[in-house]
């Protein structure tokens, strides 16, 4: 049986010299971690509009946080990102950062790590994954494509 420690060890093996955070997990590994350890927190860094209009991860509210990396409308960096993160997570919590396709989550994991959160992990592929040949998401990779629980808009 796979344990939370096994998954985190695998995630840490995905760290490269230029990766300034603890590691990276697949959507399936992220979901398994959330099931195995109630203290693990998923931090959705998409905008409120994305969560409202596209959907959100369906997990226990105690494990689900939401801190916009950028604001909507406008896409400006959220100047209160770290303060909002601090209100939802402790410095030593295991934090899994999620965005649409895995870009903002990397930035969020990096910033959080640089500010004293040592257990930050990027969720690879994000919620919707990259676009397919027709420009549609949720078809190639990501939380939704993996068939993990989510609530539609």
Identify the sign of the CA torsion 144, 142, 53, 41: positive
pLDDT at 105 over 70: yes
This prediction's pTM:
0.94
Compute CA distances 71 → 48, 53, 84, 131, whole Å: 8, 15, 13, 22
Question: Among candidates 4, 94, 3, which has minimal Cα distance to 42?
Answer: 94
pLDDT at 135 over 90: no
Helix (H, G, I), strand (E, B) or coil at 147: coil
Tell me the percentage of the chain whose pLDDT exceeds 70: 99
- Cα–Cα distance between 140 and 143 in angstroms, integer? 10
Kind of pairing between the strands at 120-123 and 23-25: parallel
Question: Among candidates 128, 122, 80, which has minimal Cα distance to 101?
Answer: 128
pLDDT at 139 over 90: no
Residue that wins the pLDDT comparison between 1 and 127: 127
């Amino acid at each position: 049986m796979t344990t939370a420690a096994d998954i985190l060890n695998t995630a840490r093996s995905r760290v490269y010299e230029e990766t300034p955070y603890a590691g990276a997990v697949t959507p399936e590994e992220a979901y398994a971690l959330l099931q195995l350890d109630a203290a693990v927190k998923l931090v959705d860094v998409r905008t409120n509009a994305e969560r409202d209009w596209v959907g959100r991860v369906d997990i226990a509210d105690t494990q689900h946080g939401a801190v916009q990396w950028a604001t909507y409308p406008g896409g400006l960096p959220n100047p209160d990102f770290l303060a909002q993160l601090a209100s939802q997570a402790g410095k030593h919590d295991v934090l899994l950062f999620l965005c649409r396709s895995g870009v903002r989550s990397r930035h969020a994991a990096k910033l959080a790590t640089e500010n004293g959160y040592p257990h930050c992990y990027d969720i690879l592929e994000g919620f919707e994954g990259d676009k397919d040949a027709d420009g549609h998401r949720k078809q190639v990779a990501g939380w939704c494509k993996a068939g993990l629980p989510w609530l539609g808009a």
